[in-house]
């Protein structure tokens, strides 16, 4: 007997997968049913070809034998996938909360084989185009071997090409207990900016290629760790090398919360050692929150200026930078505090200070040596508030405070004294040395400050600096007042000068 049937259905579920616009044909001849189905699912299309009984089973005499193994089930043909959306698959496998934003255009083919319980089993290949997170591209393309057993779904030999680098991964999803699932990722020469897909606003600040290995559990909680390394590159325009970044994380998909911690970062930046740590907290319904700190020693900032095409002298900087944001939506939400000291340098060769040289050390060039310097500043709302900026050399004492915007706008008060200074006897007659060397919390009387200001005004030049870092506007001002910190600075320098 022979028969031929055409089938059509607007929607139904195949193996628990919602499908629509299904069309199919079936032919029955000589005891064999051959069928073909086509339809749409997960935003793409699928085709199924097969027959029943499976090839090689026709006419086989029934015989008694042991029950089949769980993974040796019924072979019903093959299924081909075209252009399916990965993001729609996560709901079916129970990972929507964790991986919902991860998407790609998926194609491939897979055996349509079921185990004794009717679950799909077998091995196939999948290809992914335009791997992306929340619409932001991560990788151009990739592929994986998908192995389904009765107990596990294994994404094996997964390979993705990310910029000029490669990411290799393996994920084992337990089909009966999702909390017993695991994953591992290996990175080779991957651009760091692609790793900041959760906070892309920061990705452009890092120009370096990353290697590393990461492992994680998968389930209601994701807990993992690993180490990322980079040989060389730039961070915020500063040349860096020998970077080692231990990292761990906890992800709770149901609440949309993620915590990432960077432990014991080590690197070399512009020739000096750097250490640091950071913590990032991500929320499903609120901007990220993060905090961290970086300690650095003898980092020569002249290398950063050299990379930007500017030639400046030696600028060895040591200190600490604390940074963070409670609600990070962009650079203006970043807060920071800088406490740093400058070693022997040619700081006056910096573009801003070079413009001040004719006013503060007339007749001397910008290459004169500065013995030491200090900077204390805080960042908030895109504005650095300079609490204290000092430079001291054989022929110069300089104190500055004010503001500098992250866009380069200036509003600074600069006071500088050159070679001519009052005698030590005059200074100590006004303020004893013990008061000048005391902690800043021990204030100086207002009458003493007024007398000191009168003397200082005879020996300093006071400038108002506006405009921008690249194009400063400088005006000589009459010295009307100085902060107590500035008065202490000049009097102490002069009192100790030999």
- Comparing CA positions, the residue from 152, 151, 131 lying closest to residue 142 is 131
Residue ranges of alpha helices (H) inside 280-338 are 302-307
pLDDT mean over 244-248: 96
Q: Is the pLDDT assigned to residue 197 strictly greater than 90?
A: no
Tens of pLDDT, residue by residue over 138-193, are 888 889 998 989 899 899 999 998 888 999 999 999 988 989 999 999 999 999 88
How far, in Å, are 59, 357, 391 from residue 341 at the CA level? Answer: 89, 21, 10
How far, in Å, are 171, 198, 352, 377, 468 from residue 183 at the CA level? Answer: 4, 19, 52, 43, 50
Q: Is the pLDDT assigned to residue 245 strictly greater than 90?
A: yes
Burial 182-198 (b: 16+ CB within 10 A, else e): bbebbbeebbbbbbbbb
Question: Binning pLDDT at 50, 70 and 90, where does residue 418 land?
Answer: confident
SS3 track for 381-435: CCEEEEEEEEEEECCEEEEEEEEEECCCEEEEEEEEECCCCCCHHHHHHHCCHHH
Tens of pLDDT, residue by residue over 350-377, are 888 989 998 888 777 778 889 999 999 9
The pLDDT of residue 446 is 82
The pLDDT of residue 316 is 92
Q: Is the pLDDT assigned to residue 441 strictly greater than 80?
A: no
Q: Is the pLDDT assigned to residue 215 strictly greater than 60?
A: yes
Question: Binning pLDDT at 50, 70 and 90, where does residue 286 land?
Answer: confident
The pLDDT of residue 70 is 46
The pLDDT of residue 425 is 64
The pLDDT of residue 219 is 87
Q: Is the pLDDT assigned to residue 273 strictly greater than 90?
A: yes
Question: 370 and 393 in contact (C-beta within 8 Å)?
Answer: yes
Question: What residues form DSSP beta bridges with 13?
Answer: 18
Query: Rounded distance, CA 391 to CA 86, Å?
Result: 58
| pLDDT > 90 fraction of the chain, expressed in percent and rounded | 37
Q: Is the pLDDT assigned to residue 229 strictly greater than 90?
A: yes
Out of 119-133, 218-232, 407-421, the most confident range is 218-232
Out of 58-72, 212-226, 249-263, 426-440, the most confident range is 212-226
Tens of pLDDT, residue by residue over 299-346, are 998 876 665 556 566 889 999 999 999 998 888 999 999 999 999 998
Query: Rounded distance, CA 414 to CA 353, Å?
Result: 10
Tens of pLDDT, residue by residue over 47-91, are 888 887 776 544 444 444 444 444 455 666 788 888 888 888 777
Average of per-residue pLDDT values in the chain: 84
The pLDDT of residue 478 is 80
SS3 label, residue 170:
strand
- Greater pLDDT, 184 or 102: 184
The pLDDT of residue 15 is 60
């Amino acid at each position: 007997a022979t028969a031929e049937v055409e089938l059509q259905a607007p929607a139904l579920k195949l193996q628990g997968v919602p499908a629509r616009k299904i069309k199919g044909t079936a032919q029955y001849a000589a005891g064999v049913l051959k069928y073909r189905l086509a339809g749409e699912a997960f935003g793409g299309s699928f085709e199924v070809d097969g027959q029943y009984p499976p090839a090689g089973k026709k006419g086989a005499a029934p015989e008694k034998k042991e029950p089949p193994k769980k993974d040796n089930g019924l072979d019903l043909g093959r299924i081909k996938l075209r252009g399916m959306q990965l993001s729609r698959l996560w709901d079916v496998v129970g990972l929507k909360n964790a991986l919902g934003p991860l998407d790609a255009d998926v194609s491939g083919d897979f055996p349509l084989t079921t185990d004794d319980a009717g679950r799909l089993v077998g091995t196939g290949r999948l290809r992914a185009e335009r791997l992306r997170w929340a619409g932001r591209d991560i990788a151009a393309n990739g592929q994986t071997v998908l192995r389904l057993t009765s107990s596990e779904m294994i994404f094996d030999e997964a390979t993705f090409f990310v910029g000029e680098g490669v990411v290799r991964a393996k994920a084992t999803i337990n089909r009966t207990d999702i909390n017993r699932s695991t994953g591992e990722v290996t990175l080779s020469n991957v651009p760091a900016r692609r790793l900041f897909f959760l906070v892309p606003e920061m990705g452009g600040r890092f120009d370096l290629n990353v290697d590393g290995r990461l492992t994680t559990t998968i389930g209601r909680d994701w807990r993992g760790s690993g180490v990322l390394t980079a040989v060389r590159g730039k961070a915020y325009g500063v040349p860096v090398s020998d970077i080692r970044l231990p990292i761990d994380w906890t992800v709770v998909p149901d609440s949309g919360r993620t915590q990432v911690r960077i432990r014991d970062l080590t690197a070399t930046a512009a020739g000096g050692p750097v250490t640091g740590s950071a913590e990032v907290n991500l929320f499903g319904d609120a901007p990220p929150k993060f905090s961290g700190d970086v300690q650095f020693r003898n980092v020569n900032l002249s290398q950063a200026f050299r990379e930007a095409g500017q030639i400046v002298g030696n600028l060895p900087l040591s200190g600490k930078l604390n940074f963070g944001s409670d609600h990070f939506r962009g650079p203006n939400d970043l807060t920071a505090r800088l406490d740093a000291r400058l070693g022997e340098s040619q700081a006056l060769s910096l573009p801003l200070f070079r413009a001040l040289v004719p006013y503060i050390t007339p007749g001397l060039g910008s290459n004169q040596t500065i013995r030491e310097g200090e900077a204390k500043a805080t960042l908030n709302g895109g504005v650095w508030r300079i609490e204290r900026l000092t430079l001291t050399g054989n022929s110069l004492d300089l104190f500055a405070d004010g503001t500098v915007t992250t866009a380069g706008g200036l509003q600074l008060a600069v006071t500088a004294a050159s070679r001519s200074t009052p005698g030590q006897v005059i200074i100590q007659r006004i303020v004893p040395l013990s008061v000048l060397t005391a902690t800043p919390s021990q204030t100086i009387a207002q009458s003493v400050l007024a007398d000191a200001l009168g003397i200082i005004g005879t020996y300093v030049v006071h400038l108002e600096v506006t405009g921008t870092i690249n194009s400063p506007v400088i005006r000589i001002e009459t010295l009307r007042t100085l902060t107590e910190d500035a008065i202490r600075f000049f009097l102490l320098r002069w009192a100790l000068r030999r």
